Amino acid sequence: MTAEPHPVAHAHPVEETAYIGLGANLDDPRRHVETAVAELARLPSTRLAATSALYRTAPLGPADQPDYINAVARIETRLTPQALLAAMQAIERRHGRVRNGTRWGPRTLDLDLLTFGDRQICSSGLTVPHPEMHRRAFVLVPLADVAPRGLSVPGRDQLAALLAKVPRDGVARLASMDLRPLADLCATNEHGPAGGGPAAQGMTGTDPLC
Ligand code: ROI
């Protein structure tokens, strides 16, 4: 087993809301997205607050690749943005993501930190808000499923205004997410959920799922 840095060492006292974009277009992409959401739910000091529906989206970039499955998760976390990013990259690696330098090529799983509270971060390896999110319908449409009315993307505009400017063709709502991977993960872990929170679809709940 490879040792991953333990993100709990990099936790804040204050909980922040973060939105994470998920995308996949290889090797049963829907399963990759749903399992990744379950893994986000189990990050330390983190609670999964809401998940969007799944969307089938036409690829941005080279057209000779399969359609993507996209979704957005809203989490409440005490991790720092850097610790959260490291944890997200560890999830990508577990899903067989290989960064081989091919720009905009197909991938088993892509996790993007879209926003983190109202922060604007520009450091090597991490730019928040995600620098392209405001022009991508495959991000904004699922984000609208889980964002409160009036959400503003720091440094940009309100989500509704951004949505009004992007063409939505090529973004088809599929179904609600199947979060059985979350229940399976809970069932196989005798310690129970690290996040301790619910995986409510589109809403914040209070009952732990397991
Ligand atoms: N296109 C779509 N539709 N969805 C994605 O998640 C996605 N991710 C990417 C690129 C290659 C830019 N294209 C995408 O990284």
196 band by pLDDT with thresholds 50, 70 and 90: very low
Question: Annotated catalytic, 112?
Answer: yes
Ligand 1 geometric centre to CA of 145 (Å): 19
Torsion, CA 32, CA 129, CA 84, CA 194, rounded to 10: -70
User: What pLDDT digit, counting tens, does each position of 25-66 carry?
Assistant: 998 999 999 999 999 999 999 999 999 999 999 999 999 999
Please give the domain boundaries of the chain with CATH numbers for all domains. Answer: 7-187 (3.30.70.560)
Ligand 1 closest atom vs CA 70: 6
What is the 61 CA–ligand 1 centroid distance (Å)?
7
What is the rounded CA–CA span in Å between residue 14 and residue 78?
A: 6
- Active-site annotation holder among 42, 56, 74, 110: 110
* CA count, 13 A, side-chain hemisphere, 86: 15
> Does 107 qualify as catalytic in the annotation?
yes
Spatial separation of the C-alpha atoms in residues 90 and 57, rounded to whole Å: 25
For residue 10, pLDDT beyond 50: yes
Q: Which residue has the higher pLDDT, 6 or 119?
A: 119
Q: What pLDDT is recorded for position 7?
A: 55
**pLDDT: which is higher, 100 or 132:** 132
| Nearest one of 93, 78, 1, 81 to 39, comparing CA atoms | 93
What pLDDT was estimated at residue 191? 40
pTM: 0.85
At 185 the pLDDT is 65
CA 59 – ligand 1 centroid, Å: 6
What amino acid is encoded at 79 in this protein?
A: L
Among 30, 99, 110, which residue has the most ligand 1 atoms within 8 Å of its CB, making it the best to mutate?
Answer: 110
Distance 206 CA to ligand 1 centre (A): 33
Q: What is the pLDDT of residue 177?
A: 87
Q: Give the burial class of 164: count Cβ atoms within 10 A of its Cβ; 0-12 exposed, 13-18 middle, 19 or more buried.
A: exposed
Catalytic residue among 97, 136, 156, 173: 97
Distance 207 CA to ligand 1 centre (A): 34
For the segment 135-185, what is each residue's pLDDT rounded down to a tens digit?
Answer: 999 999 999 999 999 999 999 999 999 999 999 999 999 988 888 777 776
Can you give the pLDDT at residue 207?
31
Ligand 1 atom nearest 106 alpha carbon: 11
Residues framing ligand 1 (Cβ under 6 A): 23, 57-61, 68, 70, 104, 110, 138
Contact 72/139 with Cβ under 8 angstroms?
Answer: yes
| Catalytic residue, candidates 47, 56, 78, 112 | 112
